[in-house]
């Protein structure tokens, strides 16, 4: 019975990890952050954490020419746009059905995306 409980918990955790990607952001006040051509801004928690769905292969690469596209909007106007550093998600190799094909890229949790000072360390 313990093995069944362990497998259930493991599957739930795998599902949660496989469906999202997290990053830490610092954005200018009164702006909304749009990531990867999505129509709705991401929700930025009070500590700067953003959790979103993973990205397709087109988000791969290193800024400034490639990576995860973003834009900052204030009052409906784009005030800044660019690319974010992406990270390959190893969990996509194991996540069925074939997540490696359609969502292998994610935000790098080890990077602070400071869009105020334009640094990604």
Strand positions, DSSP E, 1-118: 21-26, 32-35, 49-52, 68-74, 77-84, 86-88, 105-107, 112-114
Higher-confidence residue: 88 or 15?
88
Give the tens place of pLDDT for each residue, 13-67.
555 445 789 999 999 999 999 999 899 999 999 999 999 999 999 999 888 889 9
Give this prediction's pTM. 0.80
Half-sphere exposure (Cβ direction) of 43: Cα atoms closer than 13 Å: 5
- What's residue 10's pLDDT? 57
């Amino acid at each position: 019975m313990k093995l069944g409980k362990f497998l259930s918990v493991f599957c739930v955790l795998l599902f949660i990890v496989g469906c999202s990607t997290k990053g830490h952001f610092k954005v200018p006040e009164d702006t909304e952050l749009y990531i990867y051509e999505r129509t709705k801004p991401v929700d930025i928690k009070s500590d700067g954490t953003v959790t979103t769905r993973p990205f397709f292969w087109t988000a791969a690469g290193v800024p400034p020419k490639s990576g995860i596209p973003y834009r900052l909007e204030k009052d409906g106007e784009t005030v800044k746009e660019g690319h974010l550093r992406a990270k390959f998600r190893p969990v996509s190799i194991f996540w069925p059905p074939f997540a490696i094909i359609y969502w292998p890229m994610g935000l790098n949790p080890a990077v602070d995306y400071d869009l105020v000072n334009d640094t990604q360390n």
